[in-house]
Structure 1
């Protein structure tokens, strides 16, 4: 906005220059203040947080699927559902950028419901009902207190012949074992299986592993990438032995190459499931369907490693 005033300057300066100078200084300061406020408003409007919250919904949130392979059969019997957000310019934004915004705005349960519903729509259209597919979702620790968490998975539990929904929970110091177990029991009673996620990373208690009644444990990817002979590799062996002793299923993340995959195949006690970029990066529903079909037809070796490049967008699981 621009305001223009025409006036003879010399008479003004001769008769009242102090006033003229004061007015000019005031005008300059006012203009600077207005400009600063406008810049701040525009920055807030176009910030990542503001753009995300303005467009938050099923139209801009998308799902990708990372295959989880059964080491014994070589088939893709599960997938982890991960979220992506499409920005207003069409670019794809990864969860580490927008998850803190969701947590800050208190919309975690709404977000999970959107992702679960979208995943069910896509998977139900693409996956045949020959055998149940285990579909895992990351659950925000704070949502364990929400009474509506179990109902988020209703679409999958109502389609139990084709899908087995799984909630991946991360241990936190804010939730004690007794409280966490009561929440787990509610989920399992509603037909949702439960995994302890990222075991071995951050806060992780061996006592909790023994005391918590869950369906399986997912070991942190740092274990899957641990070189032979290292402390982490030895800890991996010990962790597998402990989990195997509890009778829970084991999923190991971070399988990045063929050598590591073969090591997991030969491991004793046996490892149940693996996932990682060597099998596939997270892919869209069409690519996931193709990978699963190749593995089921006996061409699993061709599928392994198919997703190692840039991201492009009858066996039942043995979880007890």
Structure 2
């Protein structure tokens, strides 16, 4: 099959012809995000337009060849009636000729169409059908005895001249050739007909006039077809440009401008598709949230441009890696990414989550200001896998991945956690706790108890620490280790913290029942704008001075050296509030915080005291005490439970102690009953 034949096998799209219309190659997502998507149109020259018109006209002529010839043959055969009326003596022959020529032409055309012959050959067949149709009728017609009827009947030959334009859409050249051949035949027959010179001159003039008229009409029709083609081409180009514009805008609206990944809108749509497939077909999938560790510190250290480059590198690396799992990745927020992938087993989920962690770690992007002993950029990963559950909603799997991510960050970062419905800190129980915390204050489900703190040298009660307790609606107690993390994750800690400070001031300090009360304060509270102002308001309303209150700040990963935190601590110290560092030695920020903040007291975690049963443990505690003492801070040791431990604290010269040997947590009423006991310090919101 020739190239022309292959090209004509179907309707051509002129906008897709290489070299004729501008080739618009769709740019990549990242390029679209930064480039103008609407390029100037490439204007076609006259030759290119004519070439394109001929190419498209071929398809149209090919499509119209069959119906045109069938209609022409049908009319040609119907003229047999005129043969019977005007030349009855040769009518049988002319009618037979009509049928023979018509059927032959139709058979040849159908054969060509079946063999997918070129359009040019179809045009030749149709033009030949017109010529032989006239010749085939004329030959037996001139044998009629009624020469006068034949001479007048020949006038109908002009119909064949017009047939080239009436039934077909020939190119102008083929149309002129066909009409010229018919004209020549008419002239020859007219010349030899036994008629008068006047008759010959009149009809010769008539034939020329018909030829001129049909040729002019044919030329105008071809020009009009060309103009229609130009208008249609312009309309198609405009439609394509509008479509491309719409697609480009759609891509832009679904693309993150920095990384070129899908944005939250696009990934949410994909998540909905995954969820529908899970609900209808049982096709399981995993949702994975990825958070770049300490990214704000990275921006503060290296600048926002380097921060952007870091995100782009992470995005590119993860995108390449996710392709191996046939998954999708998008940017879900500042330094947070999300991955969706179809999976059947939890083992696959764990492998993918771990691979994400290692991919980011292997980039080895320098991050010198981290305080956890790692000097490169890493990521925390939380994953949730589809599972059968009643009343499940689309948002639930994202919530579960978010809870798993929270545990990964709380567990030291640079690690992956898979949501476990049996884990109290991540399961549905935490959702129940979150709902319970919202109503805890209004329903009197939350309360405070106070644990004594003793001065080692004098043996007097120096202060008390406020510890929060929560009970469920049925009265069941909830351990602080369960509800405090949930309160921090959901933000309920803000309202609970204000309530605790107000309650401490009202229950103990306003009535001078103790000298000092310490309250545990979450980093989330310290980072909240207006926290110091809200504390000042509470002090003013209750008539308590700030030096009666101490805030314990728990050392840990969440306690970032944040400018807002440092500013808040400074404001609190201006109010006279004492700042204690709690659980020293258990986290990563202790030495940094000792350098940055002038703590009034440092509380050494109970684990170091309990390890004193071994020589190494005792030496470790002595080293920590020496370190803190050299910084000039007072020392409080937690977990004193025996007289032997108390004796050891005297031996080490510790300032204050706390533990069951000193006193167990009691309600405020017990302290109020012992009014003779001098005022002691107070601590709120402790998770131990």
- Fold match (TM-score > 0.5): yes
For 2:591 and 2:429, the matched residues in 1 are separated by: 46
Show the counterpart of 2:671: 288
1:188 aligns with 2:580: no
The residue aligned with 2:649 is: 264
Deviation at 1:163, TM superposition (A): 6.2
Compared with structure 1, are the counterparts of its residues 133 and 159 closer, same or farther at alpha carbon in structure 2 (3 Å cutoff)?
A: farther
Contact kept, 8 Å, 2:449 with 2:466, in 1: the verdict is yes
Specify which of 609, 621, 628 is matched with residue 224 of structure 1: 609
Structure with more contact order per residue of length (Cα contacts < 8 Å, sep ≥ 6): 1
Structure 2 unaligned regions, length at least 5: 1-388, 393-426, 682-688
Q: Does 1:144 align with 2:529?
A: no
Which of residues 225, 228, 234 is equivalent to 2:619?
Answer: 234
Q: Post-superposition shift, 1:116?
A: 1.3
What is aligned with 2:467? 82
In the other structure, the counterpart of 2:421 is: none
1:41-100, Cα deviation, whole Å (9 max, x unpaired)? xx9799732651452215221000011011111111211111111211122222112112
1:221·1:252 contact (CA, 8 Å) conserved in 2? yes
Which of 653, 657, 661 is the aligned partner of 1:274? Answer: 657
Per-residue Cα deviation, 1:1-39 (whole angstroms, up to 9, x for no partner): xxxxxxxxxxxxxxxxxxxxxxxxxxxxxxxxxx9439x
Size of the aligned set, in residue pairs, is 255
2:554 to 149, 154, 170: 170
Equivalent residues of 1:138, 1:169 under 8 A apart: yes
Is 1:63–1:81's contact at 8 Å kept on the other side of the alignment? yes
Equivalent residue for 2:453? 68
Are 2:640 and 2:659, in contact at CA under 8 Å, matched by a contact in 1?
A: yes
Matched, 1:246 2:628: no
Name the one with the larger helix percent. 2
Match for residue 396 of structure 2? Answer: none
3-state secondary structure, aligned to 1:226:
helix
Change (3 A) 1:315 1:107: closer
SS at match of 1:260: helix
Question: 1 CA distance for matches of 2:594 and 2:437?
Answer: 37
What TM-score results when the alignment is normalised by the length of structure 2? Answer: 0.34
Q: Offset of 1:171 from its aligned partner?
A: 3.0
Residue 37 (structure 1) aligned to one of 391, 397, 401: 391
TM-score normalised by length of structure 1: 0.69
Is residue 103 from structure 1 mapped to residue 501 from structure 2 by the alignment? Answer: no
Are the structure 2 counterparts of residues 67 and 239 from structure 1 closer, same or farther at C-alpha, using a change threshold of 3 Å?
same
Find the residue that maps to 2:611 and give its secondary structure.
Answer: coil
Q: CA 1:53–1:260 in structure 2 vs 1: closer, same or farther (change >3 Å)?
A: closer
CA–CA distance in 2 between the matches of 1:252 and 1:118? 26
Match of 2:453, SS state, is strand
2:377 is aligned to: none
Query: 1:108 offset after TM fit, Å?
Result: 1.7
Does residue 488 of structure 2 align to residue 134 of structure 1?
A: no
Q: Deviations over 1:82-132 (max 9, x none)?
A: 11112111222221121122122212221100111122222146644xxx6
Matches within 5 A, 1:115-134: 115-124=500-509, 127-128=512-513, 133-134=515-516
User: Structure 1 residues 238, 159: CA separation in 2 closer, same or farther (over 3 Å shift)?
Assistant: farther
| Alpha-carbon shift at residue 156 of structure 1 (Å) | 4.2
Tell me which structure has the larger Cα radius of gyration: 2
* Structure 1, gaps ≥5 residues long: 1-34, 297-313
Cα–Cα, structure 1 residues 51 and 108, in superposed 2: closer, same or farther, change >3 Å? closer
